[in-house]
Structure 1
């Protein structure tokens, strides 16, 4: 199964990773790949690096491998974590924690043998040239899970076809009929109270998009207060995404006031819904469903055939129907004595942090009882 011979190049300097020649090769592979996802597009990876290089101690470990006519691009980084994390040296995909999928990009649809032989060659190269404590790949679809790595977490991702999705009132409605009727009733109620409008921003409207985004971001942070947002990441995402045409930014307004937003990715035939936000005062009008329905309706008009709700098992996604596929987070631990010691320190610190958080929650609950 692992007899295939790979020529694997590991790019370990920022100069090589950012060189025009490599970017051109990378772009060629992703353009030709029938299975590529948007999250390893050079634009998105580079904006992630632009954000995180000043914030974290990361070193590039970008992989470019060839085997006959097959080519693979797999952008990885070595993350040297701080004392709070036991000084662990962890190999993770570029985009780790911010982006949903991290399957390697194969130029041609790979066989199981090709995938596993690629991983075996990669591990051998890493073992011989990189000092690491742990390899952690998040967001791998089942076909791309390395057999030698331990599955740590599984999560469902919902996607549905836009080809047969009916449009009513300029909206693609939830697949559940009762939910669809409810959304239309609430749209009518809102329209009876005032004017409802939608706006799609592109790079020609970048200043207006930035202004709208600054209204949106505090509401998103309020809705998900524990979600880490690296300083500048989402602003970089807006600028680079709109300029490259990979990002869709849609706003819903009521009486001229923005009340809901949807940030999505545009890539090949797939419309990937990434970051929804709703003013909580308009929950009762199903503003989130209206916003998503309009964004999907515009995507359908533009010729996209798949809506991808990405990772996360939030209940509201189920209303749209479709198929669930699973992605996996996998881990491999180095057997070095020093690596075992660092992981032990990391686990102790994690337990202490967990106890502190639990005790804080108990004290808060006692205070309000």
Structure 2
């Protein structure tokens, strides 16, 4: 068994298996490791800023048995240019794993990969691996095999990712919902029904994707127009990327794009994913004119019922600790974040800046100064 570092993105697309093989033969895979999802991410991210691939391939003879898909980004602080390794999929993906064959020990594969990365420390100054599910095989490996052995590694719990356990018995699932909350949804559905017909529809053909996604963009922009953080879909490149991602997921049979209509007018849209076992609640949006009818909650209600009918075992709300998610009877699970430094002078310098910037004291009293003066790019 050996590990090889590649710095051409084509290598990743040549060695990364398709979804059906990934799902059956690799550890704890989610749709965020699908080749079509990663390809759309790379196309988008590489147009945004300068990044270079850093792919660690684990081989047994001539066969690829593991992939650690990283990329290198660059941050300038003063006169220093720091090189930061991150997992491919960062920012737009909720769960980020290395891709490791079930046929071989994941501990052995990961040990080999990280030995190779550490040997190549002249190529990087800092590693930031976000959105690792807590207690997953990857978190357990990093925690037990690396964190306890080195002061150059830090672990933090980050995002809550609530989930709802499902079954084919829809009435049993409904018992998990907050009773008052469910009554209100039924009341709002009756009010809408008195004014016209409500339909819940799943997109089944590729030519439907773009017009439905355009509705999502419109609603999302309207919803966030008055907020301090306007919708990212005001940007044409963001809209283009989301449509490409949706079409790529469709190719892998992973897209779960649905909408709620009233009198044949679309009033709410959800861009999500499903792998058959889980339905992922990714980006919802609704027409603000129908806000008083809680159409966002009506959409989620129909999504959960649909997931039960499709045989999904989990409805995953993904990142975010919003209160409305609790009313569906969810359980909490968390993502963790690891940061790694090495023994080089530049890495020690970045470590000093990093911990200064992230100290609780400076977060409360002086972070704005640090951000503007020390971390200006």
TM range (shorter): 0.7 to 0.9
Residues 163 and 70 of structure 1, relative CA distance in 2, 3 Å threshold: farther
Pairwise CA distance, 1:287: 0.6
SS of the equivalent of 2:332 reads strand
Deviations 1:293-316 (A, max 9, x none): 212222222222221111211111
Asked whether the 8 Å contact 1:173–1:320 carries over to 2, the reply is no
Superposed, 1:111-260 pairs within 5 Å as 114-115=106-107, 117-129=108-120, 131-143=123-135, 144-145=138-139, 146-147=142-143, 148=147, 149-163=153-167, 165-166=169-170, 175-202=177-204, 204=205, 206-223=206-223, 225=229, 231=238, 232-260=240-268
CA RMSD of the aligned region, Å? 3.4
Count residues with an aligned counterpart.
Answer: 344
Most deviating of 40-49 and 77-86: 77-86
Pairwise CA distance, 1:84: 9.3
Asked whether the 8 Å contact 2:5–2:55 carries over to 1, the reply is yes
Asked whether the 8 Å contact 1:30–1:105 carries over to 2, the reply is no
Residue in structure 2 matching 1:95, options 89, 93, 106? 89
Matched, 1:261 2:252: no
Pairwise CA distance, 1:246: 0.9
Residue in structure 2 matching 1:57, options 50, 62, 71? 50
Matched, 1:286 2:294: yes
Pairwise CA distance, 1:180: 0.9
Aligned equivalents of 1:288, 1:84: Cα separation in 2: 46
SS of the equivalent of 1:74 reads strand
Aligned equivalents of 2:371, 2:265: Cα separation in 1: 38
SS of the equivalent of 2:317 reads strand
Residues 200 and 268 of structure 1, relative CA distance in 2, 3 Å threshold: closer
Asked whether the 8 Å contact 1:9–1:63 carries over to 2, the reply is yes
TM-score by length of 1: 0.81
Residues 129 and 338 of structure 1, relative CA distance in 2, 3 Å threshold: same
Structure 1 unaligned spans of 5+: 1-5, 359-369
In structure 1, the partner of 2:101 is 107
In structure 1, the partner of 2:280 is 272
TM-score by length of 2: 0.79
Pairwise CA distance, 1:118: 4.1
Asked whether the 8 Å contact 1:269–1:306 carries over to 2, the reply is yes
SS of the equivalent of 1:217 reads helix
Residues 73 and 255 of structure 1, relative CA distance in 2, 3 Å threshold: same
Residues 311 and 121 of structure 1, relative CA distance in 2, 3 Å threshold: same
Matched, 1:15 2:10: yes
Asked whether the 8 Å contact 2:164–2:314 carries over to 1, the reply is yes
Aligned equivalents of 1:173, 1:260: Cα separation in 2: 25
Asked whether the 8 Å contact 2:126–2:350 carries over to 1, the reply is no
Residue in structure 1 matching 2:72, options 51, 66, 78? 78
SS of the equivalent of 2:162 reads strand
In structure 2, the partner of 1:31 is 24
Pairwise CA distance, 1:235: 1.6
